[in-house]
Structure 1
């Protein structure tokens, strides 16, 4: 007999072809199993009844026993509605239905003068209490023994087709009859006992039809644990598989390049955080197991010098390195800074971007393959098939949120073995943060600023405060400082009301006129030569203000710039806001970030802006980003958006999350092949789960 869990949803009693199409298109429910995983998002206590005299318009969903005494149709066309008078011994309310069908009207008329229960949220309209589209039960319906009835997520389209809360409950009751006995256990008795977990069958039963509040909580705990556990198990298995099969090169030597530079050319004392980072990276590079490490630190905290010291370790062991940056501006900046240091010790370095001439590309390709080049800095051009190394040992990715997972995976094929991976970022994006929590990426945090740096002060200002902001900028310029003013768009958009760059530039030049002030403009549609000319004017102090798009999010280093004004900041993501703020605060003077917004903000925008004002901590910002955007698909290529959790919540369920993580780590350590008889339930479910996953989790 075919497993009923796999039956098409249209064969469930009470569904049929039309409802099945709604369930497929609106909820992704194709089979009986999918319906079972459509969990309630809340529960209502249907043991308590109210009288009409007790009802207020501020009440939440309530239920009342009474009778419909009459029905009438009111209004015309789209405003037409069905209105019923509903009474009990204490008073009267109206019941209202919009856009009713003929069969619904007939059904409601058949209920006149019968004892019924209505359930819904009361409203106040024309000083009269009413219930819009209440649920109606003609007699005491089957309920869970606890009186807790589930409420399922729904859509307007589904409601129009008659799929209301009661229908959801009936469908779940029917599917449980069909599949309840086919739910197999997928955890071992030992794990269930150790972590106090109810059985899988009991969990599914009580999540839909709870026997008690305690049974419901036990069901939630079990199903959340299960979701976290199998994701952890996949990541741990991938990690163990990588360690067994993806061997990298062990850099065992610390030689002339590293020692000469560190002793004679470094020129400043590393912070304790930088020293710790170098020590952790050095330990990783000394093993044949591939390093997969995240180096996190605010812009200006000194990540690049740590990366360069890592490159020197690779060079001391005869291996090449690459550094991939998301933009030509940032790649050029990295190249300029690293070449200055590399020349001191005779390290051969080159730059490869989309603008590199064909003749220069040919030389670079030849020198890479011969091993003459020790290091290559570049953009996406580094992942082209033509770019081949003699012995690539270390790949460094800066601001990795700009690169897709599949793009980064191409770096693995550049050497005889997968290179060691070092990811640098000022703000971990949600996917990377999630992987760090899961333990698939090792994290190193540079949590100190170099000596003399002051934390940036961030403030929120609204459009009505613009003249005050301009006055502040002028005062800072009088002190010899410079300012960035960033806009989200280049040209006006009919669909979006952002401040656009060109209008902004005109208003800035009016507020800061020549000859007292000079203003630069930079955006992504400019030719590279024009962009570089404007950049250099600002770097040299020939202009006091740079009006730009987010092209300057990374890759501009002007210590004298002390003000960052971000227009329409409510439209930016937290990662971008944090990156833009990092353009200032690079000198010894106090720097400021001014977040300009519209006068009214929605809840999410306010959360972003207030978070930026409260903290400079990149990990804290990433946690809020995780909360607002979701952690991405950890096992796949999606960078953000919710994980495929049906019930678990990465932030709210931290204790269960950590317990599941510990359980998965223990299991892989004690039975890595899941071959023990007690783990066969886990093995069977894991194989089915794991086959659906790609190996992207191996790529940071």
Structure 2
């Protein structure tokens, strides 16, 4: 063997030996073990082969001695080293990603949206393949993808009758002598890269027809240092023409040139029990084992949620100092005794949370979640009562006039006996009525204002606004809430109410600036709505039942998922359904309600239905959340499979609110087993929070009501169905950090601040620090 060939062999041997030494001599860098590799490659070097006899059975310490001796032997006879070129410069996170790829490949990175080194490091794998132990040919399953180690026996290029089609076929065998054929289509260059007698690692799809074939997607020489075999291998999101091997090389180079990085959680990491940031980035891409991957995933999820919580808190103005209200036990008891019913345990618990918040010198910012009928208005009345007892005013803003009037009636019922005057302010009121109401608010004669957007119109002023209550905020948006808060001289306490149950994990991220209180208990006497899922073939039975309910003097909602027919979707549109039902139920008085109607016309239709002018209302999903129609006992939802479970639960909350028994009939237009199983959850449970959790697991956060429209960022690693505990920890840390450093100006927070700015830019949020 010539000296050139000998030098090449020494270099090929040295690479895995040096890597094995760096890895702690754990005999994991080469599939099949290092002893087998040396046996094959080191035939010209008998001294090295002798050193490695029994290598796999030795302790790591003994293996290190073998490695060091072998490396010395191989390096002694190598030709003099060429002058070392200077090491490549270290890269910063904001450096262009094209530093990581040759010019001809740089376009691939931009196609994936990878423009900086940070982008590449945070381009996380979508899954992993365990390629540490490779199967033999006899264990391959037809049609499945497999990775295995084989020895090349022969190779040939076959020209097929099909024009332009060339097939490379390589006969090979595994370590046990089982044979197979490796196949490449239109890749004749493979012939020059595959040598007879070479050992390859190949990945592809298996076909068992008259022998075993593997249609190769990726292959590597077993003797080279590999990112695609002999390890847990990352699989990245990719486009056509961008190989996994290219992505792995690019990410590996980014890790080599950018790490170690300053840890954004440096002062807090150990106390939180989290992995080092650079270690986590390394192991999320190239994990040593399952435990390393688990630790990396936990650390990077935590960072993801921490940045979300910091962003939400900073976007809301940080942790704001407000006013401290006095709360006396006698006041609490007075309020409870004045109620015409006993409180539930959940209401009592949430009232304690609110009282504690209002006593704090920090502004209360709390989300009150509760299913329809759980008693949120009573809790809001309690908070407004405490504000009034302290000489301050309160305001409750609702999205529609119907809801505002309903709140006005309920709050007057609870608060008037306690000496608290409630004022109503609506856009539809006459100028004289508005002027009088505004005057009483400005003079402090009215302690509580209830209204719509009219509360934040020009000319409205409060003598001393101390508490703002916002109902169904997703119908307004953050800007309207802020406009109401600006009407106070000192930052008022804030209570946001929602009758849309969403999982705690989603609430903590969507409403990251708010504490979360949950009314998870219904008052006694509230009868659950009886629910039935019907296949489409039985839908006429639903309308026969509707006819019977109307005969009893009851009212019916019918909900369709679209306004007009869509040729591509077999949906019952509201307009055509309205016409169909007029023919089917000619004796029933009907109205039509949909989102394209002007707001004033929608409210007029809804008010007429509430007053009993119609028996049946055909509607899209614009039916008001929280509106009481005491005589409504039945809701029928067409194409129920088009709705989320939580939305269907919300819809059935429209009936059975006046003491009469309520019914919900969900008609499945597409009745596959999977669809019916999902809808059956509504037959089994009336717990809105359980249903919301199931909805989250089945559909993901992006589809749940309001989240797409709220600018909610797509999580890269987080799983809201599983991560509630991590989110709560991240939220608590975000608060501690901002309490100590409200604008993240301290030196130890600069890396965290840089990550926050990078994320805000990625998801389109305005910069807040």
What is the TM-score of this pair, normalised by structure 1? Answer: 0.81
Deviations 1:301-353 (CA, angstroms, capped at 9, x unpaired): 22123222332332333322222222333223333444566666571412223
Distance 2:223 2:592 in 1: 72
Q: Which residue of 2 aligns with 1:70?
A: 157
Q: 1:350 aligned to 2:428? A: no
Q: Which residue of 2 aligns with 1:594?
A: 665
Counterparts in 2 of 1:497 and 1:403: CA distance versus 1, 3 Å? farther
Distance 1:675 1:333 in 2: 44
Q: Which residue of 1 aligns with 2:691?
A: 621
Counterparts in 2 of 1:60 and 1:531: CA distance versus 1, 3 Å? same
State the Cα distance separating 1:141 from its structure 2 match: 3.6
Highest relative contact order (Cα 8 Å, sep 6+), 1 or 2? 1
Q: 1:168 aligned to 2:168? A: no
Q: 1:177 aligned to 2:260? A: no
Distance 2:445 2:216 in 1: 76
Distance 1:106 1:146 in 2: 24
> What is the count of residue pairs matched by the alignment?
664
Contact 2:203 2:216 survives alignment (8 Å):
no
State the Cα distance separating 1:242 from its structure 2 match: 4.8
Q: Which residue of 2 aligns with 1:686?
A: 752
The 5-angstrom pairing of residues 18-29 of structure 1 reads: 19-26=105-112, 28-29=113-114
Name structure 2 gaps, 5 residues minimum. 1-88
State the Cα distance separating 1:414 from its structure 2 match: 1.4
Distance 1:273 1:389 in 2: 32
Distance 1:405 1:429 in 2: 18
Distance 1:359 1:638 in 2: 41
Q: 1:569 aligned to 2:616? A: no
Counterparts in 2 of 1:444 and 1:310: CA distance versus 1, 3 Å? same
State the Cα distance separating 1:198 from its structure 2 match: 4.0
Contact 2:468 2:495 survives alignment (8 Å):
yes
SS at 2:350's partner residue? Answer: helix
Q: Which residue of 2 aligns with 1:499?
A: 572
Q: Which residue of 2 aligns with 1:547?
A: 618
Distance 1:227 1:75 in 2: 52
Distance 1:218 1:432 in 2: 21
Contact 1:483 1:562 survives alignment (8 Å):
yes
Structure 1 residue corresponding to 2:322, chosen from 241, 244, 247: 247
SS at 2:518's partner residue? Answer: strand
Q: 1:159 aligned to 2:244? A: no
Distance 1:617 1:529 in 2: 34
Deviations 1:205-237 (CA, angstroms, capped at 9, x unpaired): 333233334433333344334444555677788
Q: 1:522 aligned to 2:593? A: yes
State the Cα distance separating 1:525 from its structure 2 match: 4.0
Q: 1:389 aligned to 2:462? A: yes
Distance 1:339 1:21 in 2: 66
The 5-angstrom pairing of residues 155-554 of structure 1 reads: 155=238, 158-160=239-241, 163-180=242-259, 182-188=260-266, 191-192=269-270, 196-228=273-305, 242-243=318-319, 245-252=320-327, 266-339=339-412, 345=419, 347-353=421-427, 355-358=428-431, 360-429=433-502, 433-435=506-508, 441-494=514-567, 496-514=569-587, 517-526=588-597, 531=602, 534-535=605-606, 538-541=609-612, 543-554=614-625
Structure 1 residue corresponding to 2:205, chosen from 105, 121, 127: 121
Counterparts in 2 of 1:542 and 1:687: CA distance versus 1, 3 Å? closer
State the Cα distance separating 1:259 from its structure 2 match: 8.4
Q: CA RMSD in A?
A: 4.2
Counterparts in 2 of 1:643 and 1:447: CA distance versus 1, 3 Å? same
Contact 1:324 1:382 survives alignment (8 Å):
yes
State the Cα distance separating 1:413 from its structure 2 match: 0.9
Distance 2:95 2:255 in 1: 13
Counterparts in 2 of 1:644 and 1:478: CA distance versus 1, 3 Å? closer
Deviations 1:40-81 (CA, angstroms, capped at 9, x unpaired): 2322233444455543225343335356533446757xxx86
Name structure 1 gaps, 5 residues minimum. none
Distance 1:587 1:127 in 2: 73
Counterparts in 2 of 1:268 and 1:654: CA distance versus 1, 3 Å? closer
Distance 2:298 2:602 in 1: 56
Q: Which residue of 2 aligns with 1:560?
A: 631
Q: Which residue of 2 aligns with 1:45?
A: 130
SS at 2:749's partner residue? Answer: helix
Deviations 1:649-678 (CA, angstroms, capped at 9, x unpaired): 344345555565666677778x668999xx
Contact 1:144 1:211 survives alignment (8 Å):
no
